Chain A
Amino acid sequence: MAFKQITSPHAHAAQNTARVMQLVLWSTIPALIALTWHFGWGSLINVVLATVTAVASEALIIKLRKRSISFYLGDYSAVVTAVLLGLALPPLCPWWVVITGTLFSIVVAKQLFGGLGYNPFNPAMVGYIILLISFPVPMTIWVTPLALLPEGVAHPDFLTSLNIVFTGISPVDGVTGATPLDSFKHSMGLTVDQIYQQNPLFSGATFATAGWEWVNIGFLAGGLIMLKSRLFTWHGPVAMLVTLALMSAIFWDAGSSQSPGSPIMHLFSGASMMGAFFILTDPVSSAVSNRGRLIYGALIGFLVYIIRAWGNYPDAVAFAVLLANFTAPFIDNYTLPRTYGHQDRRKATEKAED
């Protein structure tokens, strides 16, 4: 049938949502490699566990909603949420932590709000926060980075790691500890120089913090791949990182015992790069215009620093992103771009004339 009514445009670029999501997944590989190299098999197990849980729970909900399972699962969005959550969780954390967090991400934060495209909050971060608040102990213990392991001690092998995850019994001791941001925060009364000399997490580092710096480089590399593929614009990530760097430079306090840490430490520790390139770039829950994303990114950088420096938690990307998610619709109202032929930007809240 050649003569039928089809709406223009008739041509379409070869892009589709599944391919976008797949590219995000590929882009996590550098970080996953860095995590596995420096912290053992735990992150990989997290990612696999979370993915299986996410796909199964998403399929179940889609079935309950009486939609096509293959069509909606085929967009890979559940896998992306699961992988990001898996990467964010501490390696070798108990299996039920991963599954609880993933279920919460997919079922509550995503599907209960209407599924892909309708979630006001970043699902992975909602899952993460729920876990952090509910199970603070397993959520704050991290595996010791490879560089700091004692002589002759290695990370548990794959099967041992599985055993640790599913039984909670660890045959080796001394492979876990605090994160750099955590131990920095709790080194009261020491100048930055003293901390850097005394704490192996810093003294054993190449330029920022042992192990973590490479994980952040991995996320940065993945982020640059996505930026190059135009999955998002530079505005959000750059605004966040610049704000974070500026804040830590302003409050650096010459490395005194009151200093919350250097810009380098803040940029390459914790979830900074992951947050900048993989979390705040989630388009569904972020601001939409480029100007809006500048504000949104800067707000996250600002909140991350404030919570890290003066809050109760050592890292803050998840909290900052969720708080900024709240503001996104508001930011959108006042950051419309100037349309061709108009003198000024308009506000989304303007009422139509007459």
Chain B
Amino acid sequence: MSKTWVTPGGIHPPENKHQSLSKPIGKLPIPEKLVVPLSQHIGAPSIACVKVGDTVLKGQKIADSTGSVSVATHAPTSGTVTAIESRPVAHSSGMNASCIEITSDQQDQWISRQGIEDFEHTSSSVLLSIITEAGIAGMGGAGFPTAVKLNPGFQRPIDTLIINATECEPYITADDALIRERAAEVVEGIRILSHILGNPSDILIGIEDNKPEAIEALKPFIRDTGINLVSFPTKYPSGGEKQLIYILTGKELSNGAIPADIGMVCVNIGTTYAIKRAVVDAEPLISRVTTVTGEACGVNRNYDVLIGTSVDYLLEQNKFDHKACSRVIMGGPMMGFSLTSKDIPVVKTSNCILAPSFAEMPAEQPAQPCIRCGMCAEACPASLLPQQLFWYAQAEDHDRLQAHNLFDCIECGACSYVCPSNIPLVQYYRNSKGEIRQAQQEKIKAAQARERFEFHKQRIEQAEQEKEAKRAARREAAKQAKASTTSDSTADIVAAAQARMATKKNSPEQERAKLERAVTSAEMRVQKAQDKLDSAVASNETEEKINILSAALRGAQQKFDLAKTRLAEYSQPETTEQEPTAAKEVTPEELAKLERAVTSAEMRVQKAQDKLDSAVASNDTEERINILSAALRGAEQKFEMAKTRLAEHAN
């Protein structure tokens, strides 16, 4: 028995796991329609590679992964693509997102496939690409693309592989059932993982001691494999990545670090099974074990559910009593989110559909005042002071919230669970986190606006100074001309003209130098934005942040392009000036084309503006608004460019 460490805090809610474990993992008839969301993982959504009307086979790729943090999506059964559109998806906000709807032909016909039996002689990079292409993202809940996790780079060697079989949330038994019935495949998946990671010295399976059957099922398969099965006392939330790492190794992830920084990779046990199926059986992730439970369901058990199956279908197959149900939850009772539509499909991260009765989970009680009893602090697994966080969240005191480490809250809900005053503490923290992030964004935006404004002011001042200098020069020239009109008039006029030329001639060089400087600085900005984005992707930042950063990168690139174009245009006239006839010959057609370009650019600006306005009006997500305003800026720049070109040619 390996040594385990005890995390601070934690709670012991009623487990309620036996209800769904009385029967083996079941199989359901193929539903008529499956709705497969394009984004079931953290990172860039996959992009549909089928069209409406296409016939697809089971396991056929229907959407490609995009970028480094992304995975592919596959058809869960054979049939026809009948829609690609926005549908309600599994998200705590109840939002809609792009989905592919497949109408089943009930043939369930597989695409031809070829698995790898001998994975030990296959290179890690090949296996990693199989895992990405099979659409595998963490199945424990977060949905982080597994291949990215398994490829931490040579500067972060992995010595410990941790398999998370904790399943600490009440009610959920998907992993438990999976281990009981398919332990051999689970262990083979672990061996594949170990091979990919270069056979780390420690391989630990962490499991709570409330799953004795699963522990017994695993034992015969891990004998002599070097895999250590570590069971520890049941306590919520032991299954959080940070908590599990501490329980098994006594090490803490320092603030902002990922497990790979301390030589560890932590993978959910359901994911290891999916990896085995993907590598050995060439089966992409198109189904998962999901627990259907709660007193409002007549039948409580685990199912092999096709991704895209609607919650409605799943519940109806289990004698669901709509009237008796207090809410429908995807996930567990502690961290799961309530569903706002029965049409929401099961996704790769849906480990449980919980339909509790009113007796099990009564409607929320009105919150009483916080008496700072400190039960929440005793329950907090991160050693925070939830009562103080609540106090400052109400006061919207962002400094104090951050000093109290609000962002180390893992939103496990232990504080709300024990709160005698029924205060929805976690909701306060989520809200405060959002407010702080927004305030930070606004700060950045304000700084940028200030910079722009100052630059603008400086430019105007400079122009004014130049004009003033020219005026002075002209005045001087005129004075001299006037003074010498009596003597040699023609010579002086020439001299005055030359003086004028001189004052003018100075500026093109300056202008050019300025444009060159602009190009260099724009290039640097692109580089900086790229670096920021890379580091954000590497450190597993939130999707939202990555989107913002990539929008910023695009903006920087456009500016860089614009600066280059301007410089090029500026350099050209000098050469073309020598052959003005050539330039003038193309004018009529060219001019019309440029005019069209201006009109269409203008229309695009208008469109982008409309989109942004409607997004703002309909309170769209900040992320989307950011993307749209980046698009608007891009369109405006293009419009400006088109106008500039037209103006130059018209002259």
Residues of B within 8 A of A115 (CB): 369
A232 within 8 A of B: yes
B312's closest neighbor in chain A, by CB? A3
Contacting pair B385 A289 (CB below 8 A)? yes
Residues of A within 8 A of B384 (CB): 337, 339
A2 to B14, CA, bound (A): 22
Which of B11, B381, B388, B418 has a CB less than 8 Å from the CB of A340?
A: B381
Contacting pair A283 B334 (CB below 8 A)? no
Known A9-B333, A9-B416, A341-B408: A288·B385 in contact at CB below 8 Å:
yes
A118 to B370, CA, bound (A): 9
Residues of B within 8 A of A338 (CB): 383
Could you tell me which B residues sit within 8 Å of A by CB distance?
8, 11, 13-14, 92, 94, 170, 242, 246, 252-257, 296, 322, 325-329, 331, 333-342, 354-356, 361, 364-366, 368-375, 377-378, 381-385, 387-388, 398-400, 402-405, 408, 411, 413, 416-422, 424, 426-427, 430, 440, 443
A8 within 8 A of B: yes
B325's closest neighbor in chain A, by CB? A2
Residues of A within 8 A of B381 (CB): 340
Residue of A13, A19, A351 most packed against chain B (CB within 10 A): A13
A340 to B13, CA, bound (A): 22
A137 within 8 A of B: no
Additional A-B contacts beyond A9-B417, A340-B382, A347-B403 (6; CB < 8 A): A2-B355, A10-B334, A11-B14, A117-B371, A288-B385, A289-B385
A10 to B171, CA, bound (A): 12
Residues of B within 8 A of A290 (CB): 377
A145 to B420, CA, bound (A): 40
Within 8 A of B (CB), among A1-30: 2-13, 15-17, 19-20
Which of B325, B377, B388, B417 has a CB less than 8 Å from the CB of A12?
A: B417
Q: Can you list 28 A-B pairs, Cβ within 8 angstroms, ordered by A?
A: A2-B325, A2-B355, A4-B327, A5-B340, A7-B338, A7-B426, A8-B92, A8-B426, A9-B416, A11-B14, A11-B417, A13-B418, A71-B368, A230-B378, A231-B373, A232-B374, A283-B371, A339-B383, A339-B408, A340-B242, A340-B246, A341-B408, A342-B254, A342-B405, A346-B403, A348-B388, A349-B403, A351-B399
A58 within 8 A of B: no
Contacting pair A118 B369 (CB below 8 A)? yes
Residues of B within 8 A of A347 (CB): 403
A75 within 8 A of B: yes
A116 within 8 A of B: yes
CB distance from B408 to the nearest CB of A (A): 5
Known A8-B335, A352-B398: A341·B253 in contact at CB below 8 Å:
yes
Residues of B within 8 A of A288 (CB): 372, 374, 377, 385, 387-388
Q: Mark A323-351, 1 if CB is under 8 A from B, else 0.
A: 00000000010001111111100111111
Contacting pair B402 A10 (CB below 8 A)? no
Contacting pair A4 B340 (CB below 8 A)? yes
Could you tell me which A residues sit within 8 Å of B by CB distance?
2-13, 15-17, 19-20, 71, 75, 77, 115-118, 230-233, 283-284, 286, 288-290, 332, 336-343, 346-352, 354
Contacting pair A341 B378 (CB below 8 A)? no
Known A17-B420, A343-B254: A2·B326 in contact at CB below 8 Å:
yes
Contacting pair A10 B336 (CB below 8 A)? yes
Contacting pair B408 A12 (CB below 8 A)? no
Contacting pair A352 B340 (CB below 8 A)? no
A343 to B340, CA, bound (A): 41
Residue of A4, A20, A340, A341 most packed against chain B (CB within 10 A): A340
Contacting pair B371 A10 (CB below 8 A)? no
A130 to B224, CA, bound (A): 76
For the residues of A in contact with B, the DSSP-based class is loop
Which of B254, B420, B426 has a CB less than 8 Å from the CB of A16?
A: B420
Which of B13, B373, B418, B430 has a CB less than 8 Å from the CB of A232?
A: B373
A282's closest neighbor in chain B, by CB? B371
CB distance from A288 to the nearest CB of B (A): 6
CB distance from A331 to the nearest CB of B (A): 12
Residues of A within 8 A of B417 (CB): 9, 11-13
Known A337-B385, A354-B443: A11·B369 in contact at CB below 8 Å:
no
Residues of A within 8 A of B387 (CB): 288
Which of B400, B418, B424 has a CB less than 8 Å from the CB of A7?
A: B424
A118 to B331, CA, bound (A): 36
Contacting pair A341 B257 (CB below 8 A)? yes
Contacting pair B296 A2 (CB below 8 A)? yes
CB distance from B305 to the nearest CB of A (A): 19
Contacting pair A116 B369 (CB below 8 A)? yes
CB distance from A109 to the nearest CB of B (A): 15
Residues of A within 8 A of B242 (CB): 340-341
Contacting pair B338 A10 (CB below 8 A)? yes
A281 to B51, CA, bound (A): 67
Contacting pair A348 B420 (CB below 8 A)? no
Contacting pair A8 B255 (CB below 8 A)? no
Residues of A within 8 A of B246 (CB): 340
Which of A6, A11, A71, A77 has a CB less than 8 Å from the CB of B170?
A: A11
